[in-house]
Structures are given as structure tokens and as C-alpha cells.
Amino acid sequence: MVQELLDFKDKIDFIIETSFLKNEKFIVAMKEAFETFINKRPNKPAELLAKYVDSKLRAGNKEATDEELEELLDKIMILFRFIYGKDIFEAFYKKDLAKRLLLGKSASIDAEKSMLFKLKQGMCLAPYISWFSHFVVSVFYESWWRTVTS
């Protein structure tokens, strides 16, 4: 569902760009419309978006290059800005990130850092993100240390 929403957003952006020459009124109307229909079910969009991010950042996800993944994360952050339930997203994302890191299921430390940075910019979670960034680094150092000493 999230992928379909991302595709739909791309189509709408293309229409506004080509047909309406990026007219500010159409851009504002599109943003208001997205915000309205995405938040019809208060908590579900945040949960689905967090699960989608988790699926893309898992180690088993080999369908995208680093550049494609970065572009996808940028698009996800655009949808994230429309969601009212950012605290719900935070709870699901935090749990999924911890699982990925502790179980060694993360696709890449760079992708995780990038997503944390995007979240830090996209919402007022600087203390949470700062704490969790330290957690991410410590988990990867611990993993590295185990490899070196084995």
C-alpha cells in the first residue's frame, strides 16, 4: 500500500509540474488533500509507513542499490510529513530498528544513519534520535569487536 501511495504521489507531482507549471495553489491543494486522506485512519498510516521502512532497511532486501534506497527514503520522508501520528511511527520504527540492529538484520549502517538523520530533520525528536544514534553506533562497534576478537 505504501508503494502504491508513493507511485500515486509521483504521478500527482508530475501532473502538477507539467500541466500546472508548479503553480503554488495546486501544490498547496495537493498537500492538503494528501494530509486529509492519509489521516482518515489515525494510526494505521504511521504503522504501515514504519513497517515499509523496516522492510526496505532489512538485510534481505537486495532489490535496490544504495542510491535507489536513498531516493526511496527521501520519498518516504515526504509521506511522513503528511502523517499526524508521528509518535505512533516513532514507536514502531524504534522497535523495528532495535530488532534489526540486535539481530544483525540491517542492510547497511549507512542506510540506518541516513534514515535517522532524515528523521532528526523531519520531526522534533532530536533527543530521541541522538540517544538512538549512539545506540546504533555502539551495536555496530560491539559487532565489529566480536569479529576482531574471534
Could you tell me which residue, 53 or 120, shows the higher pLDDT? Answer: 53
The pLDDT, as a whole number, for residue 132 is 62
The pLDDT, as a whole number, for residue 63 is 76
Per-residue pLDDT band at 124 (split at 50, 70, 90): low
Q: Average per-residue pLDDT in the chain?
A: 85
For the chain, give every domain's residue range. 42-149
> Residue 58 in 3-state DSSP?
strand
On the question of pLDDT at 121 being above 60, the answer is: yes
Give the closest residue to 87 by CA, choosing from 130, 39, 123. 123
On the question of pLDDT at 139 being above 60, the answer is: yes
42-149 — its CATH code?
1.20.1310.10
Q: Which range, of 49-53, 63-67, 133-137, averages the lowest pLDDT?
A: 133-137
- Angle CA 64–67–68, to nearest 5: 40
Percent of the chain beyond pLDDT 90? 51
DSSP state for residue 55 in the 8-state scheme: H
Interhelix angle for 44-57 vs 66-82, to 10°? 170
The pLDDT, as a whole number, for residue 106 is 86
The pLDDT, as a whole number, for residue 150 is 64
Residues 6+ apart with CB under 8 A from 76: 2, 6, 49, 52, 53, 56
- For the whole model, what pTM was predicted? 0.81
